[in-house]
Amino acid sequence: KEARQQRRAKKKAEIDDEGDDVEEVEVEGEELEAFESEDFRQISFDISIPGLESKMSEYSSSFFEIDQMFVQFGYIALFSAAFSIAPLLSWMNNLIEVRLDARKLTSYSRRPLVKHAKELEFWIEVLELLAYLGLICNVVLLGLGSFSLRDLLGLSQDLPSTSLP
């Protein structure tokens, strides 16, 4: 108690030295302890990292993030034979996307709750299906685009002549 009284007297002397007109309210005993513990705990929570994060918006589901990646994989798997630079462009897009998603998770939303991702089982099946469809689609695209399939089937490469004799 003596230490508290000395601190109060010291603070009062500092305030008087500054010349500010501050009205002091004397609080002692249990009221003082309750005030100090509650008030300082709230202030320290407000400036702590969890306190600041609690005021941010809640992170939405990761379904749309995963969906976007799988749509991109589908385009690459199905049509990379038709547009061969697509995997490079996709890779460059993913470099930017990873940084933007990390920034969104760390700076603009609360930390998401950790959940077991049972929905990933569905996505793995979709990924396998896209891989098989991509294999078939690319073989067909390459076969139709090259002359080797026409040679194998014995089809003529030349167009019929329409010139007059």
Query: pLDDT value at position 88?
Result: 94
Range scoring the smallest mean pLDDT among 27-31, 55-59, 123-127: 27-31
- The number of C-alpha atoms within 13 Å of 44 and in the hemisphere containing its C-beta is 6
Identity of the amino acid at 105: L
CA 36 to chain centre: 39
Tokens 């009205």 sit at which residue? Answer: 23
Show me where the domains of the chain are located.
2-54, 63-153
87-105 per-position pLDDT tens digit: 999 999 999 999 998 888 8
Helix axes 63-79, 119-145, angle to 10 degrees: 20
On the question of pLDDT at 1 being above 70, the answer is no
Mean pLDDT value across the chain: 74
Contacts of residue 134, Cβ cutoff 8 Å, sequence gap at least 6: 74, 76, 77, 78, 80
On the question of pLDDT at 129 being above 80, the answer is yes
Higher pLDDT, 86 or 66: 86
Cα distance between residue 135 and residue 70, in whole Å = 16
pTM over 0.75: no
Cα distance between residue 68 and residue 164, in whole Å = 57
Token pair, residue 111, equals: 């930390």
Indicate the DSSP class of residue 84: T
